[in-house]
Structure 1
């Protein structure tokens, strides 16, 4: 949603600094090159903004809208890629309550469920067979 407000803000949120600068630069450059001088209001009031909007060419409006949409799509893809890279690895969630736990614990500190009961049983069986020999 930040990329909708201004192209590049979504990338700033994701800490993708180079991409954010590229989107900022692209938007500012496109605005500078495509906007006619009479489309930029000198004062900010409702009537001045309406007059400025009427002076914007359709090509300029389409180009700036396209930059905004592509910035939003790129920020979404970057966020999705970062989220898949930081997903919880297998074995660091409790099988009982589903919360994150430390991998070095033998039990869940949230619900006190034993973690990896299969490996505990295998160790006990190995200890029993070693004691019988």
Structure 2
């Protein structure tokens, strides 16, 4: 499977629209599922059931009326999880792009610590673990 460069801003935008959607764009399936579950659990624990019932019964107008009565202590955890999701999607895209670029450049990395390794050495100069002769960029 080949990796392609991804747009970090697009991953962040998808994550803003829906938790885990940015990770789906990056093809990080488990991470997307975990972020969706974490956001759902946070909303379940901190959003009052009255607001959910108001949305179900009144639609958008019920949501607007219920949101006027919600405290900041109830919305802050949901906003925090959403912000962390957006930042994680953005940084995951940057890490993906860095790995794609290093693979294209032929940069060797240590399989133990993950740092760049001098091509002339048969061991990692950072953690001193031995390198295989066929260890290339991952």
Asked whether the two chains share a fold, i.e. TM above 0.5, the reply is yes
Which of the numbers 9, 21, 25 marks the counterpart of 1:9?
21
The equivalences for 1:4-83 within 5 A come to 4-40=16-52, 41-83=55-97
The runs of 5 or more residues in structure 1 that have no matched partner are: 92-133
User: Which structure is richer in relative contact order (CA contacts within 8 A, separation 6 or more)?
Assistant: 2
Please state whether the residue corresponding to 1:22 is helix, strand or coil: helix
Aligned counterparts of 2:78 and 2:36: Cα–Cα separation in 1: 12
Quick check: 1:3–1:11 contact (8 Å CA) kept in 2?
yes
Please state whether the residue corresponding to 1:43 is helix, strand or coil: helix
Aligned counterparts of 2:56 and 2:86: Cα–Cα separation in 1: 29
1:90 deviates by 4.3
* Structure with bigger gyration radius: 1
How many residues are aligned here?
A: 91
1:47 deviates by 2.3
Aligned counterparts of 1:90 and 1:21: Cα–Cα separation in 2: 32
Aligned counterparts of 1:16 and 1:89: Cα–Cα separation in 2: 21
Please state whether the residue corresponding to 1:86 is helix, strand or coil: helix
Query: Structure 2 length normalisation: TM-score?
Result: 0.60
Structure 1 partner of 2:104:
89
